[in-house]
Structure formats: C-alpha cells, structure tokens
C-alpha cells in the first residue's frame, strides 16, 4: 500500500496498486495528471487490454531499490542514464506541475533537472537514447512549458 511517505518510482509498470501518473501525448512528451489515478483491480484489468500500456502512459509505484534491475550503487540507474546524456541542460527556472514530487525517487536523487527531463521519458520506449537526445534538443523541447 502506498502512503504519503512512500518513495515512488515515476516509471513503474502498469499493475494493480500503481498510480496512473501521466499520458504520452502525440509529440511523445508525457502530460502529467493533476491527480494521479490509483489503479484499482478494474482499472488495471482495463489497461492490461491495451497493447504496451507503458508506451502510452506513465505509472508510479513504490521504489523497490535493490529489488529493481535498474538499481545500481544505491541509486536509480534510469534517471542517472538520462541525466548523463543531458549534462548540457541548465538548471530549470520552472518545473512541470507534478503531484508526486515530494515522494519521487528521481527528484530526491537528481533534483530539479530530473523534472526537466522527466516528461521525455517513456517507460517502454522504442526510441534509442540518441533519438531521445535529438528530440530534447529540438524546438519542441520547452522547459517548464
Ligand atoms: S516531474 Fe519530477 S517529481 Fe514529478 S515524476 Fe517527474 S522527476 Fe518525479
């Protein structure tokens, strides 16, 4: 069960007990919901009918640390990898609205820059890291928009 003190992974699998956090828009950026929607058994079942839901939505769930393949040296390797490709980004002036910021693993670990990159991270992405970097450098990228 998730509580207000649970540290959350913002790129979790679509499964009962998770939170529906955002929707992948046609421009491949993630639009965060104002209020995350808990995945009840019924909603989880409905989402399971969708092909590759992690390509179309972002979900949050408990960060399981060493129980996750992405956990390395006491850190989440997902956001560290994306940060390593985007070291040129300046510190953000404004952050995208996010309902889970106080509980988010990526924000706790990497601070506001994680929030700048977060909308461009798709959990189940067919894009290569190079394609993501090109996208972030494109005119479509607008920090804080
Ligand atoms: S916007 Fe920031 S706080 Fe919210 S899920 Fe993304 S990294 Fe975490």
Write down how long the chain is. 145
For the entire predicted model, the pTM comes to 0.84
Ligand 1: residues within 6 Å at CB? 10, 96, 98, 100-101, 104, 106-107, 114-115, 118
Measure CA of the first residue to CA of the last residue in the chain; give whole Å: 33
Does 61 have pLDDT greater than 60?
yes
Domain ranges for the chain, please list them: 8-136
Closest C-alpha among 31, 35, 76, 80 to residue 57: 31
Give the Å distance between the CA of 50 and the centre of ligand 1: 24
CA 29 / ligand 1 centre spacing (Å) = 13
The 10s digit of each residue's pLDDT in 41-52 is 999 999 999 988
| DSSP string computed for 77-125 | HHHHHHHHTTTTPPPPSS----TTGGGBHHHHHHTHHHHHHGGG--TT-
**99 Cα nearest atom in ligand 1:** 4
pLDDT digits (tens, 9 = 90+) for 4-40: 999 999 999 999 999 999 999 999 999 999 999 999 9
Distance CA 15, CA 47 (A): 9
**Helix or strand (DSSP H, E) at 135:** helix 129-136
Q: Higher confidence at residue 145 or residue 116?
A: 116
């Amino acid at each position: 069960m998730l509580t207000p003190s649970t540290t959350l992974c913002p790129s979790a699998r679509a499964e009962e007990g998770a939170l529906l956090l955002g929707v992948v828009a046609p421009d491949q950026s993630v639009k965060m919901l104002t209020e995350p929607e808990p995945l009840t058994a019924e909603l989880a079942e409905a989402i399971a009918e969708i092909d590759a839901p992690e390509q179309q939505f972002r979900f949050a769930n408990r960060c399981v640390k060493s129980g996750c393949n992405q956990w390395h040296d006491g850190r989440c390797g997902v956001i560290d990898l994306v940060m390593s490709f985007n070291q040129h980004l300046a510190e953000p002036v404004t952050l995208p609205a996010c309902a889970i910021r106080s509980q988010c693993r990526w924000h706790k670990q990497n601070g506001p820059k994680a929030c700048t990159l977060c909308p461009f991270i798709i959990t189940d992405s067919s894009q290569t890291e190079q394609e993501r970097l090109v996208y972030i450098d494109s005119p479509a990228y607008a920090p804080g928009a």
